[in-house]
Amino acid sequence: MPEMTEKISFTINGEYRSVEIDEEMMVIDVIRDVLDLTGTKRGCDNATCGTCVIVMNGKAVKSCNTPASKMQGANILTIEGLAKGMELHPIQKAIAESGAVQCGFCTPGIVMELHALLESKPDASETELSNALNKHLCRCTGYEPIRDGALIAQQLIRERMTEKA
Ligand code: FES
Ligand code: FES
């Protein structure tokens, strides 16, 4: 039987895009294979490891098990959309400074998870931060530097908000 195709439109990293998808595709297939945004990593491919997390309509979403049709009309952010030119987003800076980037494979998913939480809730509790990080597997760091990085990120985001006020 021929695959059904569908045209969808969405905004990704501030850019409006329209693409053709087939019914089997997940969000990660569109992001990596159609749009060539390979910063989002494919790990387990079964919603376990968290490496594929992106932000969709302000929420952290596992792109490996979210059907591509859900992208229709959505506002999507991937790791490529965070830095402003050479200037890293505070969460990227914090995660780098805390030594939480070793092989780096888990990093984009963790940064996007923290972005979804801290940009909407800069006063998130330590439990909320832990719950968010618990969705992510890391083979390298032992998790302590990631937790430290999350706390530094929260501090930087709060400072940025105070500067703007
Ligand atoms: S690749 Fe999506 S959760 Fe592992
Ligand atoms: S830094 Fe290697 S998997 Fe996390």
* Whole-number Å distance between alpha carbons of 86 and 98: 19
Helix axes 144-164, 90-97, angle to 10 degrees: 140
Ligand nearest to the CA of 66: 1
- Which tens digits make up the pLDDT trace of 42-61? 999 999 999 999 999 999 99
pLDDT score recorded for residue 77? 98
Which fold does the domain 5-81 belong to in CATH? Ubiquitin-like (UB roll) (3.10.20)
Q: Write the burial class of residue 52 (CB in 10 Å: 0-12 exposed, 13-18 middle, 19+ buried).
A: buried
Q: Show the tokens assigned to 87.
A: 């200037």
Query: What confidence tier does 4 reach under pLDDT thresholds 50, 70, 90?
Result: confident
Ligand 1 neighbours, Cβ below 6 Å, are 42-45, 47-52, 62, 64
- Which tens digits make up the pLDDT trace of 56-112? 999 999 999 999 999 999 999 999 999 999 999 999 999 999 999 999 999 999 999
Nearest CA to ligand 1 atom 3: 47
Query: Which atom of ligand 2 is found nearest the CA of 139?
Result: 3
What is the residue extent of each domain of the chain?
5-81, 90-164
* Whole-number Å distance between alpha carbons of 126 and 60: 18
Which fold does the domain 90-164 belong to in CATH? DNA polymerase; domain 1 (1.10.150)
